[in-house]
């Protein structure tokens, strides 16, 4: 029976998906490096994970099971008023 996608087309789709995944990973690594070292807010003190990615909040709330508000209070106590510039990044 004829399959709508023969083996070569399946390989092409797999290669395309793999290529898209590689591009997505490279873009996110590049964005994290830019945010940590070259962004105008990079000179402000604070957690590097918060500076690198917007996923820091999700990590705090979902993985570590901590309240983000309480975590921000700790960050502000440790680094001062500008301790978490992650909220200012657009």
Q: Tell me the residue range of the domain where 37 lies.
A: 7-88
pLDDT at residue 10, rounded to an integer: 81
Residue 2 lies in a domain: no
pLDDT at residue 33, rounded to an integer: 95
Share in percent of the chain as helix, strand, coil (round to 5): 70, 0, 30
Residue 1 lies in a domain: no
Per-residue model confidence as pLDDT tens digits over 2-54: 565 566 878 888 889 999 999 999 999 999 999 999 999 888 888 888 889 88
Total domain count, the chain? 1
Residue 28 lies in a domain: yes
Per-residue model confidence as pLDDT tens digits over 56-68: 889 999 999 999 8
Residue 65 lies in a domain: yes
Residue 67 lies in a domain: yes
């Amino acid at each position: 029976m004829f399959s709508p996608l023969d083996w070569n087309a399946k390989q092409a789709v797999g290669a395309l998906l793999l290529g898209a995944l590689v591009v997505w990973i490279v873009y996110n690594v590049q964005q994290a490096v830019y945010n940590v070292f070259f962004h105008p807010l990079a000179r402000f003190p604070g957690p590097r994970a918060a500076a690198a990615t917007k996923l820091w909040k999700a990590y705090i709330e979902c993985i570590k099971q901590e309240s983000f508000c309480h975590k921000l209070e700790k960050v502000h106590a440790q680094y001062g008023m500008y301790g978490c510039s992650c909220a200012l990044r657009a």
